[in-house]
Amino acid sequence: MKLAVIFIGTGKYLDFLPTWYDSCETYLVPNVEKEYFVFTDGELSNPPENMIPYYQEHLSWPYITLHRWKIVLRAKEELEKFDYVLFLDADMRIVSEVSENDLLSDKKYIGVHHPCHYLKMPPHDRFPGSFETNSNSKAKVSEDYNFNYYWQGCLWGGRVPHVLDMVEELNINTSDDEENNYVAKWHDESHLNAFYSKHYVDVHTLGPQFAYPEVFSNYCNFDPIIVHLSKDNSKYQQ
């Protein structure tokens, strides 16, 4: 069993890497062999043996996130050697053990229920919430979807090669939108939701405790397993 874990961090976001990596090594499926694919424009000083660096120039907002699919595809041949792949945002920090039973299943994909959707915080408290509804976008969510889940783009993955096929498709969809001079409402997250909403029976959806929003901690009625860090003065980013 081999798991590839993807980090994308350019500019100041590279500063998140040391504690991101340490938390993954400590808590993320500890008994599973892991390698880390790090896309950055910065220098890695003496990276560990299980870390594979890829140079990635910094792109202006929102393209550094919108082009996430294209960035990941640069490592496609290496990723094909793994059983599972997991993308985890640079500003995510694992604070409690994520077991194999938690993360890995026989389903094709892994996603996480957006905590704000789970808590029914605006705009998630009424249809269409944060879903893309523009029919000119490839990220438009089908009206046949039951809208029970909205997935956060901070964590996604699943079984190889299903995820790589998904990434290929979403890269094409994003490029088609750009050719039509349109950027989806929530960028790569909108495209992820369009795909997952079509294949929701194949998605192993983690609860909101796997994307615990530190900035909204007073509203959460669940304990954190993976924390989405507050951008300023996070108690987890020391």
111, with CB counted inside 10 A (0-12, 13-18, 19+), is buried
Return all residues near 29 (Cβ < 8 A) that are at least 6 apart. Answer: 3, 98, 99, 100, 103, 104
Q: What is the pTM of this model?
A: 0.95
**Confidence at residue 207, expressed as pLDDT on a 0 to 100 scale:** 98
From first to last of its 238 residues, the chain has per-residue pLDDT tens of: 999 999 999 999 999 999 999 999 999 999 999 999 999 999 998 999 999 999 999 999 999 999 999 999 999 999 999 999 999 999 999 999 999 999 999 999 999 999 999 999 999 999 899 999 999 999 999 888 989 999 999 999 999 999 999 999 999 999 999 999 999 999 999 999 999 999 999 999 999 999 999 999 899 999 999 999 987 766 766 5
Strand, coil or helix: 46: coil
So what's the architecture of 2-228 in CATH? Alpha-Beta Complex (3.90)
Residue 38 CB burial class (10 angstroms; 0-12, 13-18, ≥19) = buried
Structure tokens given for 38: 């790090």
Distance in angstroms (rounded) separating the CA atoms of residues 159 and 18 = 26
Domain ranges across the chain: 2-228
